[in-house]
Amino acid sequence: MFLQQLINGITSGAIYALIAVGYTMVYGVLRLINFAHGDIYMIGAMTGLYASRWMKLSDEPRWSSLLLVLLMAMIVCAILGALIEFLAYRPLRNQPRINSLITAIGISMFLEFGGQQVFGATPQAFPEMMPGGSGTAMFTFYGISVARVDVLILATTLLMMLALSWMVMKTRTGLALRAVSFRFDTAALMGININRIVSFTFVLGSILAAVAGVLVAIKFPKVDPLMGLMPGVKAFIAAVLGGIGNLPGAVAGGLLLGLVEVFVAGYMPQGSQYRDGAAFVILIAVLLVKPSGLLGKNVIEKV
């Protein structure tokens, strides 16, 4: 049972990690907590649903059709991310940060309740997209099974983390990203097109959310316009836990959060009632002991 719970924890943590990577990247560059991230994730899942219906891809699951659905979700979310940045955040860039934060909450609600108008509020079934079945055990040992979709999610998370780290640390765009994250105006003086970099960050973050949306919808084939709410909050906790702005930190935070939740639900009497509470207790504990998060650097603010 312990081993199975360990697997359960890692697989549910991988989902938080997957969403948290996008969250933390946007924060790292813009110092903006994009509360709409969870809702862009929802739009990704919804796009996946409608794309697969429209192209009748679910009749016979194929890897190629899964890739196609992922691609469409990524494109739609990329456009959405760019639009949100252009219409909602850009006009506020030189305003106090709290304005953008509240706008982000507004965008989040707009997507949730606008989503209810457009898609209907009823939970809808997401079709089986993985050939051979997403829930089928990939491998079994000692009576413990690991589903194929869980392996896919974990692998995607790690891959995304590595690719992003490489992009940020080794490419010219990454260099510009880091420069912008230090100071907008100084970066602009160095000849960096701020608008382009900020736009790019949002587009990238939204693409990550789209991937997470589709993969999680495959794992839990029930999608509705409010599905991004709780995962968004949890991913935010995961990002803060690992040190917000830090990519490996987001993954570590996500996994840790998943493990704690599962062990609270699995070993405490009536533990599932404390599950969501546990996440917040950990958040508070980490913030008290190490405010910069597990893998975050301590930054001294100059006054």
Partner 1 sequence: MRSTLSALLAVFFLSIGTAIAQDIKIGHFGSLTGGTATFGISTREGIELAADEINNAGGVLGRKIVIINEDDQSKPEEAVTAVQKLINQDKVVALLGEVASSRSIAAAPVAQRARIPMVSPASTNPKVTQLGNYIFRTCFIDPFQGSAMANFAMKNLKLKRFAVLYDVKNDYSLGLREFFTQAVQKAGCEVVADESYGEGDVDFRAQLTKIKNTSPEAIYVPGYYAEVALICRQARELGITVPLMGGDGWDSDKTAEIGGDAVNGNYFTNHYSEQEDRPAVKKFVETYRRKYAGKTPDAMAILGYDAMRILADAITRAGGTQGRLVRDALAATHDFPAASGTITIDENRNARKSIVVLKIEDRKFKFVTSIQP
- Is 272 a binding residue for partner 1 by CB under 8 A? The answer is yes
Tokens of 153: 């999610």
Interface characters, 6-25, with partner 1 (x: CB under 8 A):
--xx-xx-------------
- Is 143 a binding residue for partner 1 by CB under 8 A? The answer is yes
Which of 122, 172, 300, 302 lies at the binding interface for partner 1 (CB under 8 A)? 122
Question: What is the C-alpha to C-alpha distance for residues 92 and 85, in angstroms, rounded to an integer?
Answer: 10
Strand positions, DSSP E, 152-260: 222-223
**How far is residue 108 from each of residues 34, 88, 112, 121, 201, measured CA to CA in Å?**
9, 12, 6, 16, 18
Question: What is the C-alpha to C-alpha distance for residues 260 and 9, in angstroms, rounded to an integer?
Answer: 7
Please say which residue, 122 or 298, places its beta carbon nearer to partner 1. Answer: 122
Residue 122 Cβ vs partner 1, minimum distance, rounded to whole Å: 4
184: Cα within 13 Å, side-chain hemisphere: 11
Residue with tokens 């009536």: 270
Which of 25, 224, 241, 257 lies at the binding interface for partner 1 (CB under 8 A)? 224
The 3-state secondary structure of 178-203, one letter per residue: HHHHHCHHHHHHCCCCHHHHHHHHHH
Please say which residue, 171 or 273, places its beta carbon nearer to partner 1. Answer: 273
- Is 132 a binding residue for partner 1 by CB under 8 A? The answer is no
What number of chain residues touch partner 1 (CB under 8 A)?
Answer: 37
Q: Tell me which residues touch partner 1 (CB under 8 A).
A: 1, 4-5, 8-9, 11-12, 116, 120-125, 128, 135, 137, 143, 145, 147, 220-222, 224, 226, 230, 261-263, 265-266, 270-273, 275-276
